[in-house]
């Protein structure tokens, strides 16, 4: 029993299960019928059953013709064989699913403005399961470097060293104020004017917050309300508690009731969106496909791409 099995054990077990099904059906020529069902020569089927019997060390069948029946050992083997075959199928499905599963970490901007379109496209044309984790900046980069995710999309001044990367788009930064404050939403708003506004911004780990305060902090700006996402920020702005900033992909604009917005990108440090990944995952077919679709979708939004 400790010796390696001489043959394809799963194939032989599957053949044995089919044979016993025909035996229990009372067919007069169970071997012939099974060989026909499996598209085998009868001698090949007999060799498979003999190999199984020799490996087990006891007969699996007794009798002939319509009196052919499984021994106790044969019945037990049939039961266990069904379990093994089922587990093998599940294993194949799990491995196949894992191979086609791509986990991406990204900022809220990408999660809301780009990923939904890519998800719909993948569901329609390819069996890739795209799993999305919300993580921006250094957290996104760390997840990629540690291998916890396959790829990441982050906003940064330049692509991080030591990782594969592709440029998606240049970030656009929008100032958002309550709808009634028309003077604050004019196209020619200055840094000094923005610095006088009570600000509704995100946590210190937010690249948007850092980018804004690097320019407005020295001009006396202060954060009135700290929030954990753009929905909360917009709610405070609509209520008149201050102004916020949103990072958007090119081709997108702030379309929210109760607020006004203007593009203030040129007044702040430049920033770009990159998709990043480890070299060992970058070449995987599923990862390549997801990256290509992200880039394609982002480029469709860029007015400067012909």
Same domain, 93 and 108: no
Instruction: For residue 272, tell me if it sits in a domain.
Output: no
The answer to whether 17 and 78 have CB atoms below 8 angstroms apart is: yes
Same domain, 178 and 138: no
Mean pLDDT of 257-281: 93
Instruction: For residue 243, tell me if it sits in a domain.
Output: yes
Element (H, E) at 177: strand 172-178
State the pLDDT at residue 130.
86
CA 109 centroid distance within chain? 17
Residue at which a domain ends, from 78, 98, 118: 98
State the pLDDT at residue 218.
97
- Residue 28's contacts (CB-CB under 8 Å, 6 or more residues apart) are 65, 66
Same domain, 82 and 22: yes
Element (H, E) at 286: helix 285-300
Same domain, 238 and 184: yes
**Dist. CA 203–CA 228, nearest whole Å:** 7
**Dist. CA 231–CA 184, nearest whole Å:** 21
- Quick one: how many helices (H) and strands (E) in the chain? 12, 12
Mean pLDDT of 153-169: 92
Instruction: For residue 281, tell me if it sits in a domain.
Output: yes
State the pLDDT at residue 194.
96
**Dist. CA 109–CA 121, nearest whole Å:** 19
- Residue 171's contacts (CB-CB under 8 Å, 6 or more residues apart) are 109, 155, 247, 248, 249, 265, 270, 271, 272, 273
- Residue 110's contacts (CB-CB under 8 Å, 6 or more residues apart) are 153, 249, 273
Q: Quick one: pLDDT band at residue 6, thresholds 50, 70, 90?
A: confident
Instruction: For residue 305, tell me if it sits in a domain.
Output: no
pLDDT digits (tens, 9 = 90+) for 43-101: 999 999 999 999 999 999 998 877 889 999 999 998 999 888 888 888 877 766 655 68
CATH code where residue 47 lies: 1.10.10.10
| pLDDT above 60: residue 1 | no
Same domain, 147 and 192: no
State the pLDDT at residue 111.
87
| pLDDT above 50: residue 18 | yes
Same domain, 262 and 197: yes
pLDDT digits (tens, 9 = 90+) for 102-159: 899 998 888 888 899 888 888 777 677 888 998 877 889 999 999 999 999 998 888 9
Residue 105 has which token pair? 């970490």
State the pLDDT at residue 98.
54
Cα 250 to Cα 172, 203, 236, distances in angstroms: 6, 24, 25
Instruction: For residue 28, tell me if it sits in a domain.
Output: yes
pLDDT digits (tens, 9 = 90+) for 219-245: 999 999 999 888 899 999 999 999 999
Instruction: For residue 107, tell me if it sits in a domain.
Output: yes
Same domain, 182 and 51: no
State the pLDDT at residue 109.
84
Tell me which of 24-28, 176-180, 219-223 is least confident.
Answer: 24-28
- Residue 264's contacts (CB-CB under 8 Å, 6 or more residues apart) are 173, 174, 175, 189, 194, 245
Instruction: For residue 258, tell me if it sits in a domain.
Output: yes
State the pLDDT at residue 2.
61
Tell me which of 24-33, 151-160, 286-295 is least confident.
Answer: 24-33
Q: What percent of the chain has pLDDT over 90?
A: 52
Residue at which a domain ends, from 71, 98, 125: 98
Tell me which of 22-31, 121-130, 159-168 is least confident.
Answer: 121-130
Same domain, 39 and 58: yes
Mean pLDDT of 192-201: 95
**Dist. CA 152–CA 290, nearest whole Å:** 11
Instruction: For residue 202, tell me if it sits in a domain.
Output: yes
Average pLDDT, the chain: 87
Same domain, 81 and 117: no
| pLDDT above 60: residue 259 | yes
**Dist. CA 73–CA 118, nearest whole Å:** 54
Three-class SS state of 197: coil
Q: Quick one: pLDDT band at residue 187, thresholds 50, 70, 90?
A: low
> Domain tally for the chain?
3
| pLDDT above 50: residue 290 | yes
| pLDDT above 90: residue 15 | yes
Domain carrying residue 211: 172-267
State the pLDDT at residue 122.
83
**Dist. CA 128–CA 145, nearest whole Å:** 22
Same domain, 72 and 152: no
| pLDDT above 60: residue 182 | no
């Amino acid at each position: 029993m400790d010796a390696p099995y001489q043959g394809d054990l799963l194939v032989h077990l599957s053949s044995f299960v089919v044979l016993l099904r025909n035996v229990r059906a009372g067919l007069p020529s169970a071997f012939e019928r099974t060989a026909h069902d499996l598209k085998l020569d009868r001698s090949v089927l007999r060799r498979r059953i003999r190999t199984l019997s020799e490996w087990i060390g006891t007969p699996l069948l007794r009798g002939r013709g319509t009196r052919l029946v499984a021994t106790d050992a044969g019945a037990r083997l049939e039961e266990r064989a069904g379990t093994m075959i089922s587990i093998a199928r599940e294993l194949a499905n799990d491995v196949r699913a894992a191979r086609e599963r791509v986990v991406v970490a990204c900022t809220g901007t990408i999660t809301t403005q780009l990923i939904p379109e890519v998800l719909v496209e993948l569901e329609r044309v390819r069996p890739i399961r795209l799993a999305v984790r919300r993580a921006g900046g250094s957290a996104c980069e760390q997840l990629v470097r540690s291998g916890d995710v396959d790829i990441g999309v982050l906003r940064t001044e330049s692509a991080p060293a030591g990782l594969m990367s592709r440029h998606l788009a240049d970030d656009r930064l929008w100032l958002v104020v309550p709808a009634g404050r028309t003077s604050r939403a004019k196209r020619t708003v200055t840094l000094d004017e923005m610095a006088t506004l009570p600000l509704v911004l995100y946590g210190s780990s937010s690249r948007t917050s850092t980018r804004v305060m690097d320019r407005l902090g020295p001009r006396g700006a202060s954060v009135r309300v700290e929030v954990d996402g753009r929905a909360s920020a917009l709610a405070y702005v609509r209520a008149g508690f201050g102004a916020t900033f949103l990072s958007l992909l090119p081709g997108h604009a702030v379309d929210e009731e109760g607020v006004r917005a203007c593009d203030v990108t040129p007044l702040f440090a430049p920033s770009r969106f990159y998709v990043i990944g480890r070299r060992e995952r970058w070449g995987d077919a599923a990862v390549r496909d997801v990256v290509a679709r992200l880039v394609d979708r982002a480029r469709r939004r860029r007015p400067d791409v012909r």
